[in-house]
Each structure stands twice: as C-alpha cells, then as structure tokens.
A and B are shown apart, each in its own frame.
Chain A
C-alpha cells in the first residue's frame, strides 16, 4: 500500500498528460469536425465529395496506424514537431469524422421549417447554417459529442506507444518497475480513467433524457 501511494505523483503526471491530450485534441476535433460537417452539406459537390471521402477513410483506419503515420511518416516528410503535437494531430484526425457525424445528425434533427423560414427571408447558405441551423443543432448534438469525448479519453491510451508518456504508458512503466504490485497498479490506472469517463457518461445520459422528451 505504501509502495503504491509513493507512486501516485507519477500516476498524476501521466493523468495530466492524458487530460492534455483529451482537451486539446477534443477542441481541435470539434473545430475540424464542424468544418467537415459544413462541407458535407455545402452546395459545392467537390467539397461534399472530399468530406465524404475524408470521413470514410478516417473512420476505417485503426488508430494505431494513424499514430504510425503521424509519428514516423510525417517526420520523414519534414514535419519536425514534438511528439505530443503529432499525437494531437493523430487524435484530432481520428476523432473528427465522429464529431462530423454527430453534428450531421444534430442538423438533421432541426425541423426543416427553420431552414425554409431562414431562406424565405433571404439568408444565404452561410448565414442560414451559422445563425439558424447550427445553434439549434448544437443543443441536440451535445450528448453524442460527449460520447465521442469518452471514446477519445480511452483512445489517448494508444498514444503511449508513440513517444507520449500518458497514463497508460506510465502504468506500464510502473508495472515493470514494481513487479510485486502489478495488479494494484492496473487498478489505480483503471480508476483514474473512470474518473473521467463515468461522470461524462452520466452527463450525456441526463442531457439526452432531458432533450428527448422535448423533441
């Protein structure tokens, strides 16, 4: 028990990096996902096609291979960045299609009369989407978005194999150094992950419950 307690500072350092990965990649994925979603419903077929292809490929590549690309192939192409930035890129790329799909479903949930009304008073595409559709879609999108963030939290553990010392990599290092308490170390790591994911899950369920009735 003493031994485990003395390791807590190291755990928290890994936890901090995981939180950093989650927050930064989450925000970037939100931005990128919104752009992709907007491209999906845009009037330009080229943009629609690009967004569709991007979503398909990004959803069907395992995260490990995405990380391989950002950690090894990008530097070969001359991208010299600290590995944590490359991890941000990988996680953002991987999460963006899920954000885009969540947004799309939110947009689909907005009654069509809203868009018709906006058009009938002369608003263009950009104005309709940004002033009328997205604000309403956003409310309905929050629960699925939270689920996407829960998945992102768990996905940060893959970064541990690619030069970013987050919680999972820390756990493995500690388990190796302290071969006598491997199981308690893993349990501590599990608890730390649950500290993030379980509250997020509850929030998502509560929000969805509230808004399902309203629909």
Chain B
C-alpha cells in the first residue's frame, strides 16, 4: 500500500535513532585526557574485588548536582570530592579513571540501586543511618558533615537552629536535612535542587536554606558575597560508601583503602583539589568497622 510508506519511513527513522541510543549506552562521553597509569593488582578468587579487577570496570553511583562533592559539568564526567574518593578506590582495584562508569544516584534510588546491583558502590553524600543499614552496608565514614544554615549575608537575626523554629526554611525533597527541619519545628519548604532554594531565600519567602554544611559552602562560594553560612553544624552526618548488605569482605577492603589514603596523603590531595577550594581541610573520621 502506497500510503503506508510515510508511516513506515517515520518508524524506520525512529528505529535508527533507537539503535543509536542502544549503541551509545547510558553514560555520556569519556574523558579526552589520558588518565594516570594504574597497576594491575591481584585479589583472592571469588571476592568482589577480584571480579571488579577482572572486569576492568566499576560502576559508581554519585550525585550529579551537589556542588563540591558530585557535580556533572559539560565535560560529561562528574567532578567533586566523592568522585575523587571513587577514583582512589578504583585505582586500588587496578581500574583507571576513564574506565569508571558513573551513574547518577538520586536520593530515592540509592538503596535500590545497590540492592539490584545496578551500581557496585555508592559515593553520593550518603549519610549512614540505622534504617539504611538494614538494607545496605556502609564502608567509612570518609567525611563528617553536619547540617548547617545559609542566610543572606546581611541577615544577623539567625544565628543557630533555634532561630529557625516556626520559620520557613528551604531544603531538598527526600533528604535527611529536610526531615531534621521538620523535627526541630521549622517549616520545611521543599524543592528538587539546592540551587532552586536560593531564589526563595533571595526574595524573602524563606529565611534560610538548610542542608549539609559542605553543600552550603559550595552555594555560598558560587554566589560571592550574597550569602553566608552561620552557626555550628547541629547534626552529625557521616558520609559513607554504600555497598551490598552481605559483602563484608568488600566493605573491609574499602575501609583498608580509606585508611591507606588517609595516611599517604591522597585523601588530603583529593580534598584540596575539590572541596578544599572553599572549605578547610579537617582530619578524616576513622572508618567504622561494624
């Protein structure tokens, strides 16, 4: 039938686009610069480390929209402190930087990603807590953040979390800081990205933005002079590396890698390259081997 040709052509074009989709896969393009050489390492048979080293690639879940920790710029690969930690772990497995597959771990899907094996580890400003420990296990913590407050630079009324009670405060949907705000009696105003919180702060609809202090510092640095971080962190948010619940060997091995990186300066180097441009370096917390 002649008249079928047009729709058939349309379908064929769609199919061609589809095939190209399958070919290009999930993650956008790899780095163009040559990655530093890593040495091949030997592991015990049957461990996750051996499997990953043999495969020559590791899938790491991280954030793509957290300033200083995991940020996806136009280059196509994420940058940030979490990303650097991931690179350190990968290099210990004999996997070079450009062989790491980065997947975006939005807050809601971190546990299911690990449970389904979608990613091997998650390094995504992932706070360790007991409820999560029921379904995934954590290596680390590798950084101790704390929830803090961001206000306009000329606002001297807010000095600590007590001043937030009964006030509207902005945070991100589905985050631990948002739950904490409700707990202390502030009115949470929620949105999808931290960057979105700045506009309500600017026009006075909310009095403050509250989340982990490192993210706030990143936001303040991006908007010089307009905002400031106030008060001391009023919670403890230990950032951990999430992995499969039963994989104790892998977890202990990652803890070993972390301790090694603390000692030989790679941790400090990673910090100075990323978050250290805005925040002072602090001694890392000891890994919790539970």
* Overall SS of chain A's interface: helix
Chain B residue at smallest Cβ distance from A185: B108
Known: A175-B174, A182-B108. A163 touches B190 (CB 8 A): yes
| Known contacts A177-B179, A180-B134, A182-B108; is-contact A72 B199 (Cβ 8 Å) | yes
Chain A residues with Cβ below 8 Å from B134 are 179-180
- The contact of B192 among A75, A161, A165, A178, by CB within 8 Å, is A161
Interface on B for A, CB 8 Å cutoff?
A: 107-108, 110-112, 131-132, 134-136, 170, 173-176, 178-179, 188-192, 196, 199-200, 203, 205
Top 9 closest pairs, chain A to chain B, by CB: A172-B174, A176-B174, A161-B192, A179-B132, A180-B134, A179-B111, A75-B203, A169-B173, A175-B108
Q: Which chain A residues in 16-58 approach chain B with CB under 8 Å?
A: none
Cα–Cα, bound, A128→B219 (Å):
59
> Are the CB atoms of B111 and A173 closer together than 8 Å?
no
Q: How far is the CA of A118 from the CA of B34 in the complex (A)?
A: 80
Task: Tally A residues with Cβ within 8 Å of B.
Answer: 21
Nearest B residue to A177, CB-CB: B179
Q: Are A176 and B108 in contact (CB under 8 A)?
A: yes
Give Cα A91–Cα B205 distance, bound, in whole angstroms.
21
A162 CB within 8 Å of chain B = yes
Given contacts A72-B196, A75-B200, A172-B108, 19 further A-B contacts (CB under 8 A): A75-B203, A76-B203, A162-B191, A162-B192, A163-B189, A163-B191, A163-B200, A173-B173, A173-B179, A175-B108, A176-B174, A176-B175, A177-B131, A177-B176, A178-B131, A180-B131, A180-B132, A182-B108, A183-B112
B203 neighbours in A (Cβ, 8 Å):
75-76, 80
Chain A residues near B (Cβ < 8 Å)? 72, 75-76, 80, 83, 160-163, 165, 169, 172-173, 175-180, 182-183
Which residues of chain B are near A173, meaning CB under 8 Å? 173-174, 178-179, 190
Q: A9 to nearest B CB, angstroms?
A: 13
What residues of chain A lie closer than 8 Å to B170, measured between beta carbons? Answer: 163
B residues less than 8 Å from A179 (CB atoms): 110-111, 131-132, 134-136
Nearest opposing residue in chain B for A160, CB measure: B173
What's the Cα separation between A183 and B111 when bound, in Å? Answer: 11
Which single residue of chain A is at the shortest CB-CB distance from B115? Answer: A182
Which one of B111, B132, B136, B190 contacts A169 once the chains associate, using CB atoms below 8 Å? B190
B41 to chain A, nearest CB (A): 32
Q: Which residue of B lies closest to A72 (CB)?
A: B199
